[in-house]
Amino acid sequence: MYKTNTCGELTITEVGQKVRLCGWIQKSRDLGGMTFIDLRDRYGITQLTFNMETNPTLCEQARTLGREYVIQVKGTVAERYNKNKNIPTGDIEIIVETVNVLNASKLPPFTIEDNTDGGDELRMQYRYLDIRRNAVKNNLLFRHKLSMEIRNYLSGQGFVEIETPFLISSTPEGARDFLVPSRMNEGKFYALPQSPQTFKQLLMIAGMDKYFQIVRCFRDEDLRADRQPEFTQVDCEMSFVTQEDVLQTFEGLYKTLFQKMKGISMEDFPRMTYNDAMKYYGCDKPDLRFGMPFVELNDLLQYRNFSLFNEAELIIGICAENCGNYTRKQLDALTDFVKRPQVGAGGLVYIVCNADGSFKSSVDKFYGQEDLQTVAERCNAKAGDLILILCGKTEQTQKAMNELRLEMGNRLGLRSSDLFKPLWVIDFPLLEWDEETQRFYAKHHPFTAPKPEDEYLLENNPAAVRANAYDLVINGVEVGGGSVRIYQREIQKKMFQVLGFSDEEAQKQFGFLMNAFEYGAPPHAGIAFGFDRMCAVFNGVDSIRDFIAFPKNNSGKDVMINAPSSVSKEQLKELNITVNE
């Protein structure tokens, strides 16, 4: 061992001990008579001391060492005069006797500090330096601990981690697959899995009962800021269970994780139907860290000479507490906000609930004080509050009001990253109609079972069929979702028909699963969590990229290793493919 201790563990109790430490030079201060070096490793920082009087040669040597040099030092632990209360090793320093330079370092292209001066692209290019920064390093340590806790919990509950293959077949339903040409089978391709969905169902048919896997998945989608072409999923499946069993099991997982990772004891998670989520929050992943639910106002505001409201499919209001004192400028800013194309509202109507019990509104022309009071009562608004109203087509208005509600949550500081509000959203619709292709798509995936009581609707009113499908939402972020699965061949066949598959296509793509259903498939259900997303949510962070050691950029590139890259003609020839000119 090059070292006896880490740079994060020596304290006053080790004073007098001879030690060897290794690490990187964080910074160096030359005070003339004394030189101090902060030596850093994964575990912390320890101060090294060099004295010009007692050991001038060594002190001179120390002064030549630049930032990020890797060194090994031998020395003695001593108590510090000027203690640093901010770090665990702040009471001691090392009186250095020898320095061994293990490797020099060029000047790093950005500072290895919590607040670095490096831009995103530069830090990605030198990700190995970026990871030396506390922020990134701690994220990776958190990720490791989270994965250990998940594995220990699930394993303790009798779940078995089973590795499923990465080289599988392409199934065009869903997102785009990454393909892998097969050299040994000319003209054929493997596909990388978008999820182990069919394999975990086969494992249930195989009798494995409780399966999980923390596994990489792949989607060749056009990337948004928070998507990666490869991402990690906590994938789970159980046999002989109902939806209730799944929710209980994984609520148990999350309660344990909140306890172990954040020291928080969580109450039972509330549940909300998909329909209620849309009605009260305008989205299927409401942020419950604050209230401000939507209030429908059609009956109170329509047919009173205000044509905008009269023509609207939906009029909804939210009550922003204690915002009655918003200035003209603030209200204009909110109007600008809702008119942004990403939000998409035509305009904003407001009602100020004055302290004296009167009301002031942008639609005073059309509505009297009594009308406004009725609205205020419906919205549970009290004196000093502000009511914000949007109207229009149902979906558009819900979407816009969802954005406005979240914006108000931000403005009012109601979305603290220390607060965790989980929610099960249940009873999702089974299918989703797509206007463009004029067909139904599976809302969750084609293996999700219709609720037994809705099954009869499948043929004549598919849009009305609900599924035993569920999402776990935390602070407005969907961290995972799942469903009770189809396990009977006939229902799966009907499902493919509704989705517009010919029997032949269904057989070609999913024949192996439908055949498997004929050999004693048990009832089963499952769930999958986005692991990168989980890491981010537990840390109150938006971007998943911060929790991935070597992420790709928005063009799917790894700029550090220059991937993807050109390959040799010989390689392509062996694979029997040609790149189109």
Per CB under 8 A, contacts with a second copy among 505-544 are 512, 516-523
Report if residue 4 touches a second copy, rule: CB under 8 A: no
Compute the distance between CA of residue 205 and CA of residue 507 in angstroms, rounded to an integer.
18
Q: Looking at beta carbons only, is 36 or 110 nearer to a second copy?
A: 110
Which of the 8 DSSP states describes residue 309? H
Task: Classify residue 362 by burial, with Cβ atoms within 10 Å: 0-12, 13-18, 19+.
Answer: middle
Residue 391 CB, nearest distance to a second copy (Å)? 40
The overall longest dimension of the chain from CA atoms, in Å, is 93
Q: Does residue 290 interact with a second copy by CB under 8 A?
A: no
Partners of 315 in the beta sheet?
391
Q: Are 146 and 213 in contact (CB under 8 A)?
A: no
In whole angstroms, the minimum distance from the beta carbon of 397 to a second copy comes to 35
Q: Which is nearer to a second copy, 388 or 536 (CB)?
A: 536
**Cβ atoms within 10 A of the Cβ of 313, count?**
12
> CA neighbours within 13 Å on the CB side: how many for 59?
17
Matching residue, tokens 């000319």: 186
Q: Is 437 in the site for a second copy (CB under 8 A)?
A: no
Cβ proximity to a second copy: between 72 and 302 the closer is 72
- Of 442, 455, 466, the C-alpha closest to 491 is 455
Q: Is 477 left (phi over 0), alpha (psi -120 to 50) or beta?
A: beta
Query: Cα(177)–Cα(169) distance, rounded to whole angstroms?
Result: 9
Is there binding between residue 545 and a second copy (CB under 8 A)? no
Tell me which residues in 559-578 interact with a second copy (CB under 8 A): 560-568, 571, 574-578
Q: Running DSSP on this structure, what letter comes out for residue 262?
A: I
Q: What is the helix (H) or strand (E) element at residue 494, kind and residue range?
A: helix 489-498
500 belongs to the binding site for a second copy (CB under 8 A): no
| 160 contributes a contact to a second copy by CB under 8 A | yes
- Residue 425: how many CB atoms within 10 A of its CB? 26
Q: Cis bond leading into 564, ω under 30°?
A: yes
Which residue in the set 50, 153, 190, 290 belongs to the binding site for a second copy (CB under 8 A)?
190
Stretch binding a second copy (CB under 8 A), from 83-91, 124-132, 346-354, 455-463: 124-132
CB of 494 to a second copy, least distance (A): 16
**Nearest Cα to Cα of residue 297 among 372, 359, 408, 402:** 372
Cα–Cα distance between 334 and 328 in angstroms, integer? 10
Name the minimum Å distance from CB 467 to a second copy: 19
Q: Which of 165, 252, 270, 500 binds a second copy (CB under 8 A)?
A: 165
550 touching a second copy, by CB under 8 A: yes
Tokens of 525: 């259900």
Question: Which of 18, 216, 262, 439 is in the footprint of a second copy by CB under 8 A?
Answer: 216
Taking the complex as a whole, the smallest distance from the CB of residue 441 to a second copy amounts, in Å, to 18
The least distance separating a second copy from the CB of residue 158, rounded to whole angstroms, comes to: 9
Residue 342 found at the interface with a second copy (CB under 8 A): no
Would you count residue 144 as binding a second copy (CB under 8 A)? yes
CB of 267 to a second copy, least distance (A): 23
Smallest Cα–Cα separation from 142: which of 488, 540, 562, 571? 540
Q: Rounded distance, CA 492 to CA 498, Å?
A: 10
Give the chain's end-to-end CA distance (angstroms, integer).
55
Q: How far apart are alpha carbons 127 and 561 in whole angstroms? A: 10
Binding residue count for a second copy, defined by CB under 8 A: 123
- Minimum gap (Å) between residue 2 Cβ and a second copy: 4
Q: Which one among 37, 62, 92, 129 touches a second copy, defined by CB under 8 A?
A: 129
Q: Which positions from 94 through 113 interact with a second copy, judged by CB under 8 A?
A: 102-106, 108
Residues 239-278 close enough to bind a second copy by CB under 8 A: 239-242, 245
Choices 27-35, 88-96, 147-155, 329-337 (CB under 8 A): range interacting with a second copy: 147-155
> What's the closest the beta carbon of residue 301 comes to a second copy, in angstroms?
48
- Spatial CB neighbours of 480, under 8 Å, sequence gap ≥ 6: 234, 250, 471, 472, 527, 528, 529, 530, 534
69 near a second copy, rule: CB under 8 A: yes
Which C-beta is closer to a second copy: that of 433 or that of 512? 512
Stretch that binds a second copy, among 194-202, 282-290, 414-422, 439-447 (CB under 8 A): 194-202
170 lies in the binding site for a second copy (CB under 8 A) = yes
Does 383 sit near a second copy (CB under 8 A)?
no
Among the listed residues 10, 49, 68, 93, the single contact to a second copy using CB under 8 A: 68
Q: Among 50, 153, 218, 290, which residue interacts with a second copy (rule: CB under 8 A)?
A: 218
The region of 54-62, 295-303, 442-450, 547-555 touching a second copy under the rule CB under 8 A is 547-555
Stretch that binds a second copy, among 76-84, 218-226, 254-262, 281-289 (CB under 8 A): 218-226
State the nearest-atom distance from the C-beta of 186 to a second copy, in Å: 8
22/77 with CB nearer a second copy = 22
3-state SS assignment for residue 40: strand
Residue 421 · residue 288 · CB < 8 Å: yes
Nearest to 517 by CA among 500, 533, 539, 493: 493
Which residue reads 């790149």 in tokens? Answer: 579
DSSP class of residue 223?
Answer: P
From residue 61, give the alpha-carbon distance in Å to each of 58, 100, 324. Answer: 5, 10, 67
Site for a second copy in 305-334 (CB under 8 A): none
Q: 130 and 111 in contact (C-beta within 8 Å)?
A: no
Indicate whether 552 belongs to the interface with a second copy (CB under 8 A). yes
> Is residue 229 a contact residue for a second copy (CB under 8 A)?
yes
